[in-house]
Amino acid sequence: MTQFPDVKIVQLFPWQAPGILRDPLAFLQQQAAQHGDFIQYPLNVATVYHISHPAVIQHVLQTNSKNYSKDTIQYNTLAQITGNGLLTSDGRSWFTHRRLMQPAFHRSRIESFGETIVSATAAMLDRWQAHASSGAPLDVDAEMMQVTLEIVGKTLFNIDLRADAPQMTHAVLDMLAYVVYRAQNPLALPLSVPTPRNRRFQAAMAQLDHIIHRSIAFRRARGDRRADGADLGDMLSMLLLARDEETGQGLTDAEIRDEMITLLIAGHETVASALTWGWYLLALHPAARAQMEAEVDGVCNGRLPTTADLDHLPLTRRIFDETLRLYPPAWLITRRALADDVIGEHTIPARSILILSPYVTHRHPAYWPDPLRFDPGRFEETAVKERPRYAYIPFGGGPRLCIGDRFALLEAPLIMAVIAQRYRLTLLPGHPVIMGPLVTLRPRHGLLMTVQPR
């Protein structure tokens, strides 16, 4: 029988709100350290739970996932960008779209993306040459954002975003900053009021929508199917040709737009954030960096890495796994209980809000000895088997598990290998690196680094 921890009831007071909003991660960590793995906050608006225990997390995300929806401030504000896309929708619409999109993430298809990933990264490194020669610092965070956006556009939608990538990256960042602001200020003026902030958001959204609708219109006009009627193999083509099994109806342009924007956002900012923190950690741990360089050199012997090489780059992969532990891009996962639910001895009332933080659980000393130590060895096979599955949730779990987990686990180590082969990145002395728990976990002031050829 599963052992669940007891619930600790903790009162929160209004004067704590500014501190919580200023540094939610410190608050969540400190509460978990003080009150344990299963905390209840009886607030006026709703009963709120903070859960850090793997067994309770598993119950919510997997065992009884049907009882927990995404009707929370976190997802409702994000839905202002992603509409009814996979990340923020629930119920039948989520289920039909997930079933429709799943084949595009099949292993064989994901593995075929390797070449695109490697060539986009190699092209980025050519652009770094000027920085390597002059010693001028490079914002590695911005670079990771651009290359991952370009990759997701090309691999999933077969659209070339090279020309649009810098503006799109800006637009996405403006939009996500707005989402964070709205989540923290629920009483802010509605979007219909033309405040400078609202106008900036609308302009960014219009820019992104324009690029997306342009691709949908182009592909619809082209017919977008093979002679035998089959789709062309990329996500956009699948979405355009998809028909509901029961009604025979296709997706509207608005539905396709929501899914495209969801994948563009969920599929690049997360990977970029993890890569950025990866370079930060490697710069702080030169011995691990040297081992990774040696691994890549030994396997690739000067030629560019390929998908097939990943099986022979276990340390590179473990460094990425450990980065996702210490700096999980999705640092917050929230749910709302649809009906009463019993977990162990405790009844969760309907409409309660549940807060899960991969960041807190990944630093739980019961599952991660000496949790702040960077140690890729934690991801050796035997060590992984000894831990509960839900002690490590960078991609969530259960039916709402990240659809792009395999994609990310192919893409990020490949990008790391291509970069490590050619350049060594070091931190710029004096540049402040401060964690910003925004929609994803990002360095608030970017990550300025210098680039040295190897």
Q: Round to whole Å and give the CA distance between 338 and 351.
A: 6
- Smallest gap, in angstroms, from Cβ of residue 363 to ligand HEM? 16
Residue 350 backbone dihedrals phi, psi, to 5 degrees: -55, 145
Record the tokens describing residue 117, joined without a space.
């990933």
Sign of CA dihedral 20, 24, 30, 31: positive
CB of 242 to ligand HEM, least distance (A): 15
Provide the strand spans (E) within 138-237: 138-139
First and final C-alpha spacing in the chain: 54
Asked whether position 270 contacts ligand HEM by CB under 6 A, the answer is yes
Residue closest to ligand HEM when measured from CB atoms: 404
Quote the least distance from Cβ 81 to ligand HEM, whole Å: 13
**Nearest approach, Cβ of residue 267 and ligand HEM (Å):** 3
Could you tell me if 100 and 239 are in contact, meaning their C-beta atoms sit under 8 angstroms apart?
Answer: yes
Is residue 396 within 8 A of residue 330, CB to CB? The reply is yes
- Residues 263, 410, 425, 448: which binds ligand HEM (CB under 6 A)? 263
CB of 71 to ligand HEM, least distance (A): 12
Q: Which of 125, 145, 159, 271 binds ligand HEM (CB under 6 A)?
A: 271
SS3 111: helix
Which residues from 273-292 bind ligand HEM, rule CB under 6 A? Answer: 274
* Interface with ligand HEM, residue 400, by CB under 6 A: yes
113 near ligand HEM, rule: CB under 6 A: no
- DSSP three-state, residue 38: strand
- What residues have CB less than 8 Å from 312, skipping those under 6 apart? 299
**Among positions 7, 56, 242, 266, the unique one binding ligand HEM when judged by CB under 6 A:** 266
Site size with ligand HEM, rule: CB under 6 A = 23
Give the helix/strand (H/E) hosting 129.
helix 114-134
Of 18, 27, 15, nearest to 52 by C-alpha is: 27
Applying CB under 6 A, does 142 fall inside the site for ligand HEM?
A: no
Is beta strand 441-443 parallel, antiparallel or unpaired with respect to 435-437? antiparallel
Stretch that binds ligand HEM, among 20-28, 163-171, 189-197, 400-408 (CB under 6 A): 400-408
Stretch that binds ligand HEM, among 164-172, 177-185, 401-409, 415-423 (CB under 6 A): 401-409
Site string for ligand HEM, 301-330 (x = CB under 6 A): ----------------------------xx
Q: Is 204 in the site for ligand HEM (CB under 6 A)?
A: no
**Which amino acid belongs to residue 147?**
V
Q: Are 41 and 47 in contact (CB under 8 A)?
A: yes
Q: Is 262 in the site for ligand HEM (CB under 6 A)?
A: yes
Could you tell me the CA-to-CA distances from 416 to 169, 272, 320, 386, 444 in Å, in that order? Answer: 21, 11, 9, 28, 22
Which pair of tokens denotes residue 236?
Answer: 């956009």
The one among 403, 416, 438, 441 contacting ligand HEM by CB under 6 A: 403
Closer CB to ligand HEM, residue 267 or residue 305? 267
Confirm if 36 and 341 have CB atoms less than 8 A apart. no
Residues 60-99, one symbol each (x = binds ligand HEM by CB under 6 A, - = not), give: --------------------------xx----------x-
Q: Quick one: 400 or 422, whose CB is closer to ligand HEM?
A: 400
- Binding stretches for ligand HEM (CB under 6 A): 86-87, 98, 152, 262-263, 266-267, 270-271, 274, 329-330, 333, 394-396, 400, 402-404, 407-408
